[in-house]
Homo-oligomer: A and B are copies of this chain.
């Protein structure tokens, strides 16, 4: 407990949310955190329902925010690799905590709805 006051705070929490929120970002981050470097096509295969447009858009945003790194190889056919940056890795704690809380929350709600 401390200086997490409503106003300042709001900005901090929202800045974090900006990174991890969205239909695809959490799973993109987790795949990169767990699976390491991946090519565009691999990622697309891992997210069967995402469109190319969405995948590119999400990756570009994460790159802009220094969370992931994009490495283009000058080959034909093209090859582009994505990986988590060291900085991006600092998100792991938050994701971990959200994961744990979320899993127990799902149990909580399941219990509630079975009453």
List residues of chain A with CB under 8 Å of any chain B CB: 1, 4-6, 8-17, 19-21, 26-27, 30-31, 34-35, 46, 65-66, 87, 90-103, 105-106, 108-109, 112
Contact = CB atoms under 8 A, between A and B. Distances in A.
A15 B97 contact: no
A114 B9 CA distance: 23
Among A4, A11, A12, A92, max chain B CB count under 10 A is at: A12
B97 A97 contact: yes
Contacts of A27: 6, 10
A6 B19 contact: no
A16 B66 contact: no
Nearest to A67: B105
Contacts of A90: 101
